[in-house]
Amino acid sequence: MNEPRKQGAGEVDYFACLDLPRRHAIDRAALERRYLELSREVHPDRFAGASSGEQRAAVERASLVNAAYRALRDPVRRAEHLVKLGGIDLDLTDPERGAPDPGKAFLIEMIELREALEEAQGAGAAAVGRLRGAIEARAEETLDAGIDAIDGGEVREAARHLVIHRYLQRFLDEIDGEAH
């Protein structure tokens, strides 16, 4: 028996789910309002007196609404979802439908960043803080570039930026993790 290996699952349009236009710029108030409305309607507690089939269906509907809300309220997950709807799933390794290669230049940049972090850690908390700030700014720029690409309909390009953003975010998490 082997370890499990992973592949992608079917796509659901979370925007349609919450009656929102399929684009990155989002009306936060509309999102919150619609989410609360739907939650009231579909929450399994509303079906406490229903048959087991209806109850199961309520759990599934509520799960979908919660997943949609979670994905859309966060700008990064929202961008990744749009890319996924465009046919590229960043959680897959498939060369066509999966996360694109971030590129050699970026991998070299990451190696340099790691070296810079080691140096900064030797120099003290202030140096780590400065480096962290710089990486955070770089991550922001990358996300913005990804969103611009989505708005321009360039899914593949958007996906590349979002992959780089993931690397940078993970790096930031590592810095924060070590600081604790």
Partner 1 sequence: MSTQGPSIHDTGALFQIAEPEERRAPARAPGRGIGIDLGTTNSLVALAPHGDDPKVLADGEGRALLPSVVSYVGDRVIVGDAAQAQQEEAPGQVVSSVKRFMGRGLSDVDFTHPYHLVAPSQGAGVLRLDVGAEGEPHLVTPVEVSAEILRVLRLRAEDALGGPIDGAVITVPAYFDDAQRQATRDAGRIAGLNVYRLLAEPTAAALAYGLDRGGQGLFAVYDLGGGTFDVSVLRLHDGVFQVLATGGDSALGGDDLDRALAAHLLGRAGFDETRPPTRHQRELARIAARAAKEALSEQGEVRVSVAACGIDDLAVTRATFEELIEPLVQRTIRACRAALRDAGVRARELDGVVLVGGSTRVPRVRAAVEETFGRPPLTDIDPDKVVAYGAAIQADILSGSAREGVTLLDVVPLSLGIETMGGIVEKLIPRNATIPIAARQVFTNYSEQQTGMQIHVVQGERELASDCRSLARFELRGIPRLPPSMARVEITFQLDADALLTVTARELMTGVRQSVEVKPTYGLSEEEVDRLVMESYDHASDDYAARNLAEARVELGRVALAVRTALAEVGHLTAILPAEERASIEAALVSADALMREASEAEAVNAARVEIERRSEPFARRRMERALLAGMEGKSLHEIESVLAAEEEHLDERRGGHSAEVIDG
Q: Which is nearer to partner 1, 22 or 56 (CB)?
A: 56
Q: Which is nearer to partner 1, 48 or 105 (CB)?
A: 48
Q: Least CB distance from residue 6 to partner 1, whole Å?
A: 6
Q: Least CB distance from residue 91 to partner 1, whole Å?
A: 10
C-alpha to C-alpha distance for 42 and 39, rounded to whole angstroms: 5
Beta carbons within 10 angstroms of residue 104's beta carbon: 8
Report the SS3 class of residue 179.
Answer: helix
Q: Which two tokens stand for residue 55?
A: 């109850």
Q: Which is nearer to partner 1, 2 or 122 (CB)?
A: 2
Q: Which is nearer to partner 1, 115 or 140 (CB)?
A: 140
Q: Least CB distance from residue 154 to partner 1, whole Å?
A: 28
Site for partner 1, rule CB under 8 A = 1-9, 36, 39-40, 43-46, 48-54, 56, 59-60, 62-63, 66-67, 69-70
Evaluate whether 117 touches 128 at the Cβ level (below 8 Å). Answer: yes
Q: Least CB distance from residue 67 to partner 1, whole Å?
A: 6
C-alpha to C-alpha distance for 70 and 64, rounded to whole angstroms: 10
Q: Least CB distance from residue 123 to partner 1, whole Å?
A: 27
C-alpha to C-alpha distance for 38 and 77, rounded to whole angstroms: 21
Calculate ∠ Cα 5-9-12, nearest 5°. 160
**DSSP letter string, 140-177:** HHHHHHHHHHHHTT-HHHHHHHHHHHHHHHHHHHHHHH
Q: Which is nearer to partner 1, 5 or 104 (CB)?
A: 5
